[in-house]
Chain A
Amino acid sequence: MEVVVQNLRIAFPSPSGPLEAVRGVSFTLGQEKLAIVGESGSGKSLTARAIMRLLPRAAMLSADALRFDGIDVLNADENAMRRIRGGRAGLVMQDPKYSLNPVMTAGAQIAEAWRAHRGGTRRQAREAAVDLLAQVQIRDPGAVADRYPHQLSGGMGQRVMIAMMLAPDPELLIADEPTSALDATVQAEILRLIEDLVQRRGMGLILISHDLPLVSHFCDRVLVMYAGRVVEECRAGELARAQHPYTRGLLECLPILSEKRRRLAVLRRDPSWAAA
C-alpha cells in the first residue's frame, strides 16, 4: 500500500470566489506513521480525508495525483471508493460519542463492520468482534460486546471505534484527533495501542493532531501545516531542531511542567508563512 498525494488542492465556494483551504500539499506514505499537525483551519483534516474522498459536498477537489495503492481516488467511482472507505482504510474520529450508533451494542457494530467487508455468518462475526475487542485490550471483551455506547467510558468507546476500524483488516488507519476528548492517561494508552497495532499489522498510519510534542512520540515523520500548506516536514525525533518559525512558535508557546516559563511566548504570525 502506498499513498501518493501531489499538489492537492481543496477549495470551497464563497461569495468572493473559491476559497482554497488546502493549497498544494504533496507527500507519499508507505508502511509508516505520519503525523499531520496544525491549528484549527490549517487544512490537516481535509488533507487526510481527501485520501478517502470524504469531503463536504461543496468541496472542490483537485490534484496532480491522488492515489491509494495505485487507485486514482480523483476519478474512481463510488463502488471503488466504498471498498477503500472502512475497508482498506479506516478512519477514527475524535469523539466516539458521535461516531458510534447509540442504539446498537458495541459487539453488533463491530460484527456489522466485519460482515460488510468479509461476509461470513452472524456467529463468526460475533466471535470476530469479541476477538477484536480483546485485541484493543478490553479486559472483559464478551461483556463489553453486549454494552451500548452510553454504557462505555470515553476511552472504552474509542477502543470500540478502533476495533471496528480494524475489522476489515485495513492497510491504512487515519486517526483524526483520536484522543483530544480523553484524559491524559487514557490518551497515552490509546496512542500506545494504535502504535502497537499499526506495528504488528504492518499498517500505514496518519495521525492528525494539534499537539506537536505528543505526536512526536508516536510517529516517524511529522508534516506541519499552516494555512493550507505544509510549511515543514521533519523526522519526529528531530522535532526539537525544527527550523520553521511557525513550528518553533508552536513549541515555544506551550506551558511545560518540567520548566518554569514566566511568560509564554506568543506566536507572531508572519504573512510570508501563508504565501508561497
Chain B
Amino acid sequence: MMIEVENLSVRYGTAYAARDVSFSVARGESFGIVGESGSGKSTVLRALAGLNRDWTGTIRVGGETVTPARDRAFFRRVQMVFQDPYGSLHPRQTIDRALSEPLLVHGIKDIETRIAAALTEVALPPSTRFRYPHQLSGGQRQRVAIARALMAGPEVLLLDEPTSALDVSVQAEVLNLLSDLQEKRGLTYILVSHNLAVVSHLCARIGVMQGGEMVEQLTAEDLRAGRTKHPHTEALRRLSVELEETDAQHGKAA
C-alpha cells in the first residue's frame, strides 16, 4: 500500500473536523474523497500533506509511519495541487523561478533541461517559461502548478479541487492531463472534490464524507450503477445524476 490512514482524527476545540477516518490507497491507484463543505474532506487531505500538524491516528506512506512534522524526504515523495492556482503561485516570480525552486530545495541538477521537459510534459509552450502568473490563463496556471508539484519526481499527488475554478472545457483538458501523467509516471492520486462526476471519472475508488466521518467507501462502478449503502451517498448521487441530464428530466419538470 502506498498510503494507509488509520483512525485519523482532527479536532478544533471540542468539535471534530475529522473523526476516525481510515482508508488505504495502493501504488498507482486513484482514491477520491467526496463530500459537502464542512464534511472534513479537505481536513483529511491537509493532515496528509502535513499542512496541519494537530491530528491523531496513524498515517503511513510507502509503509513508513509519518510524524506530524515532515522532513524533506516526505515532500520529495508527496506533493499537493490546490484549487486556485493563482493563490498558489508567487505573483512576482516567473514560471521559471516557480519551477526551479523545488529542484534547488532538493538539490537536483540539470535545472535547464528539467524545466523545459516539465513544460512539455504539461503541454505548455516554451514561451511561458519567463512569464508571470498573471500573464497566463487559469488553465495554464493550473498546468504550471501541476508541473511544479511534479518537479522533484513525487510518487503521490494530493489534489484539492484541482478543476473547480476552471471552465468546463479547460477542466476536461486538465483531467485528461492528470490521467496521462498517472499512466506515464505510475503516480498515486488522492483527489478531493465536491463534484461526483469529476471524482468518479478519475478515481476507481471513492470515500464519501459527512460530518467529519467517512460514511462509505465504494467503487466508481458501484456509484455509477447506484449500488450505494449509505443514504448520504445515495442523496449525493441522485442529485448529481438529476442535474446532469439535459432533456428527459426537464420535460417532466415543465
Give A contacts to B, CB under 8 Å: 39-40, 154, 183-186, 188, 210-214, 216-217, 236-241, 249-251, 253-261, 263-267
Closest residue of chain A to B198, judged by CB?
Answer: A255
Quick check: is B108 within 8 A (CB to CB) of the other chain?
A: no
Known: A185-B235, A213-B245, A266-B172. 20 other contacts (CB 8 A): A40-B138, A184-B194, A184-B239, A188-B243, A211-B168, A216-B246, A217-B242, A217-B243, A217-B249, A236-B250, A237-B254, A249-B169, A253-B172, A254-B172, A255-B175, A256-B197, A257-B196, A264-B175, A265-B172, A266-B169
B54 close to A (CB within 8 Å): no
Among B194, B236, B239, B244, contact of A258 (Cβ-Cβ < 8 Å): B244
Chain A residues whose CB sits within 8 angstroms of the CB of B224 once the complex forms: 257-260
* Known contacts A188-B239, A255-B198, A239 near B169 by CB under 8 Å: no
Q: Give complex CA distance A261, B37 in Å.
A: 27
With A39-B167, A253-B169, A257-B244 in contact, is A263–B194 under 8 Å at CB?
Answer: no
Beyond A237-B251, A257-B197, whether A184 also contacts B243 by CB under 8 A is: yes
In the complex, are the beta carbons of B246 and A213 less than 8 A apart?
yes
A217 CA to B252 CA, complexed, in Å: 10
Residue of A whose beta carbon sits closest to that of B201: A255
Residue ID in chain B nearest A181 by CB atoms = B37
Question: B79 on the interface (CB 8 Å rule)?
Answer: no
B168 neighbours in A (Cβ, 8 Å): 39, 210-211, 250, 253-254
Chain A residues with CB below 8 A from B220, complex form: 260
> What are 11 sample pairs from A and B whose C-beta atoms fall under 8 A apart?
A184-B194, A185-B239, A188-B239, A188-B243, A253-B169, A254-B197, A255-B172, A257-B196, A260-B220, A264-B175, A266-B176
B-side contacts of A236, CB under 8 Å: 250
Which listed residue (B171, B236, B244, B251) contacts A253, Cβ 8 A?
Answer: B171
Interface size on B, residues (CB 8 A): 39
Q: Which residues of B contact A (CB under 8 A)?
A: 36-37, 138, 167-169, 171-173, 175-176, 179, 194-198, 200-201, 220, 223-224, 235-237, 239-247, 249-251, 253-254
Asked if B241 contacts A258 (CB within 8 A), the reply is: yes
B241 touching A183, Cβ below 8 Å? no
Residues in B with CB closer than 8 Å to A186 are 36
> Chain B interface mostly helix, strand, loop or mixed?
helix
Give chain B residues whose Cβ lies under 8 Å from the Cβ of A267. 169, 172
Considering the complex, give the chain A residue whose CB is closest to the CB of B224: A257
Residues of chain B contacted by A211 (CB below 8 angstroms): 168
**Bound complex: CA A10 to CA B250 (Å):** 34
Complex contact B240–A184 (CB within 8 A): yes
CB distance from B58 to the nearest CB of A (A): 30
Given contacts A239-B247, A255-B198, A257-B196, contact A263 B239 (CB under 8 A): no
Please name all residues of chain A whose beta carbon is closer than 8 Å to the beta carbon of B235 when the two chains form the complex: 185
| CA–CA, A188 and B245, complex, Å | 14
| Interchain CA distance A254-B243 in the complex, whole Å | 12
Contact B197 A240 (CB under 8 A): no
Whether A213 contacts B243 by the Cβ 8 Å rule is: yes
Min distance, Cβ A205 to any Cβ of chain B, angstroms: 15
Query: B171 — which chain A residues lie within 8 A by C-beta?
Result: 253
Cβ of B249 to closest chain A Cβ, rounded Å: 7
B201 A40 Cβ-Cβ under 8 A: no
A186 CB to closest chain B CB (Å) equals 8
CB distance from A141 to the nearest CB of B (A): 23
CB distance from B227 to the nearest CB of A (A): 13
Write out the residue numbers on chain B whose beta carbons fall within 8 Å of the beta carbon of A260: 220, 224
| Complexed CA–CA distance, A251 and B169 (Å) | 9
For residue B224, give the distance in angstroms from its CB to the closest CB of chain A. 6
State A237–B172 Cα separation when bound (angstroms): 24
**CA A241 – CA B234 in complex, angstroms?**
29
**Cα(A40)–Cα(B243), bound, Å:** 21
